[in-house]
Structure 1
Amino acid sequence: MLYDLSLTIDYSYDAASDRTRNILRLLPSDITGVQKVRQRLLTVSPLPDERRDGTDFFGNEVSMVAWHHPIDALSLQLTAQIERFEPASRLDLSAPLKDLYREVIAQKSLAASAPHHFLASSPRVPILPQITAYGRECLTPDMTALKAVEAVGQALHRDMRFDPEATDVDTSPEDAFENRHGVCQDFAHVMIAALRGVGIPAGYVSGFLRTFPPPGQPQLEGADAMHAWVRAWVGKEHGWIEFDPTNDQFAGTDYITIGYGRDYGDVAPVKGAVRSAGGHRTQQAVDVIPHDETPS
């Protein structure tokens, strides 16, 4: 599936900010077997005094920008054309859950995609006893790792309520789970905590979900902004899979990936420091449109 993607994030400040510096993770990149970026452009306005583009440890595209003079507004605009491929066969080649840990420790690589980085607590996702217990209740002794991931994701979709007013970007997995509500970031963080708690390496995926459903299907929640879902390592034969607990489905051709990390902190789209007074306001707009339906 070929998509035309556009994203705009606007900030306005009550007082002009001084010495603003941001780290942006907004540019999509090629992912073997998953997606191909045909074109992309990230425009920053006003023009920063410094800009440096590169990649982080997990292979995500990073743009570091800074202004040496006061600014009272900031606009980030991304346009891209991305081809998303059909997922590989859904045949379950994953390890039996009881054997998964042995397969993890047998992995000798410590590269960015190694499961070792995604098994322990991370800054925003601690392993919590109550979430681990919830994860264990979803499992049966004969499950494969893939089926375990699906079972945990389905349970969270059933038991948690999508509520864009209930949480904010700083809400902890513990609070979101206790109240059983949140947005896609909360669903992903709780699922990651549950999977790690039962011994399944799991990480965070940041990206986009197409903005309208296939014919005859209901609107998917979280499609009007950046989206988040979960990736999990299910054994040496099957490798990584991706599941969206917010919408109870494996990630497929409706998804565009921006970045991978241990939790939201590794892939936050905008992170930085601003020296200012008063508050600020932000707006975000996203369009993910199949290329053959994009107006000329």
Structure 2
Amino acid sequence: MRIHVKHATIYTYDPPANGAIQTLRLTPRNHDGQYVVSWRIDVSESCRLRAHEDAFGNLTHTFAVEGPISELRVIVEGEVETQDTAGVVRGVKERFPASLYMRETDLTVADPALRAFAEQAAAGIEDRIARLHALMEAIGAHMAFDPEPTQATTTAKEAFALKRGVCQDYAHIFIAGARHIGIPARYASGYIVTDGAAQSQTQGLAQLQGAAAQAGHGWAEAYVDGLGWVGFDPTNLQCPTEAYVRLAVGLDYLGAAPVRGNRYGGGEENLSVALTVDQSSRQIQG
């Protein structure tokens, strides 16, 4: 599948901010089942985008701009050719052993209720893949999707208790549960084409000082001996298909957030996000 992505993040400041610093994890990598045809990042202010790899091997860009800044726009557009790998991630150079992803974070701590839930979902199942699918199905039955924006600091146990949330919350619950039953798991961010049509969203979020932009899609990856890392999307009750574009991974959402940063000075900050993900009509020639 050829997937076209256009992702705009727009900050407005009133009164103007004195400056801003941003880190972007908005560039996909090539690996088995994913080939980047074209990709570009544009920033409205005059600044230098510094490219590097973070600790997890994600492609990142950072920039700093001096004010006064009334509006700051980050525009990403590109095309990616994908193939279905049944959720198995291959061709990626791993920086750390899988055991690192047993480490809890503040967002993925499992409380007694969540631990008991994960144990019950996997009870009596020996095969690791089957255990993970059972956990995913149980989360899908327990949770109701809530399209309202979720704060970047919402934890797995908070979302589990509420029984509602967005993809970020589903993924955190899956990660917390998988780790509790002894399976390394991590967060994956990216994009998804829904029902073969464009996925669009625009959000207005007030006073997001240092918060991550809530856009795109998030799921989990779990480590299975003999297969390696395998994606699980509890929001959609499936392993990632050719409809997914994978951007970044981390111990939780904050480690793989598409956009994170801070501004200094100024007054109220407002953020709007516009995202379109669709199947491109153009095909690779030859």
Q: Classify the TM-score, shorter chain.
A: 0.7 to 0.9
Aligned residues: 266
Runs of 4+ in 1 over 6 A off after TM superposition: none
Which residue of 66, 75, 78 corresponds with 1:80? 78
Secondary structure at 1:282 match in 2: strand
Contact residue 128 and residue 197 of structure 1 kept, 8 A: no
* Structure 1 Cα separation of the partners of residues 282 and 142 of structure 2: 36
Distance 1:69 1:76 in 2: 16
Segments of structure 1 that go 5 or more residues without pairing to the other structure are: 91-109
TM-score, normalised by the number of residues in structure 2: 0.86
**Equivalent of residue 191 in structure 2, options 208, 215, 227:** 208
The answer for the alignment partner of 1:103 in structure 2 is none
Q: Among 262, 268, 277, which residue is 2:257 paired with?
A: 268
Matched residue, 1:228 = 218
For structure 2, the residue ranges without an aligned partner over 5 or more in a row are 202-214
- The residue matched to 1:260 in structure 2 has which SS? strand
1:23 and 2:23 aligned: yes
Matched position secondary structure for 1:69: strand
Q: CA deviation at 1:283?
A: 1.3
* SS state at 2:41 partner: strand
CA distance in 1 between partners of 2:54 and 2:262 (Å): 19
Q: Following superposition of structure 1 onto structure 2, how do residues 1-296 of structure 1 map, counting pairs within 5 Å?
A: 1-31=1-31, 33-48=32-47, 50-88=48-86, 111-165=94-148, 167-210=150-193, 212-214=194-196, 224=201, 225-235=215-225, 237-292=226-281
Q: CA deviation at 1:158?
A: 1.0
Deviation of 1:88 (Å): 4.9
TM-score with structure 1 length normalisation? 0.84
SS for the counterpart of 1:70 is strand
Taking only aligned residues, the RMSD between alpha carbons, in angstroms, comes to 2.2
Q: Deviations over 1:35-74 (max 9, x none)?
A: 11011100011122x4311111111111110013321111
Q: Distance in 1 between matches of 2:74 and 2:165?
A: 26
Secondary structure in 2 matching 1:67: strand
User: Which one has a larger percent strand, Structure 1 or Structure 2?
Assistant: 2
Q: Is the 8 A contact 1:166 1:181 kept in 2?
A: no
Paired residues of 1:167 and 1:176 also in contact (CA < 8 A): no
Aligned to 1:107: none
Q: Deviations over 1:225-274 (max 9, x none)?
A: 41000100011x11111011011111111111110111011111221221
What whole-Å deviation, never above 9, does each CA across 1:103-140 have from its counterpart, x for those lacking one? xxxxxxx9525211111202422243321111010013
Task: Verify the 8 A CA contact 2:122 2:131 in the aligned structure 1.
Answer: yes
The whole-number CA distance in structure 1 between the counterparts of 2:188 and 2:9 is 19
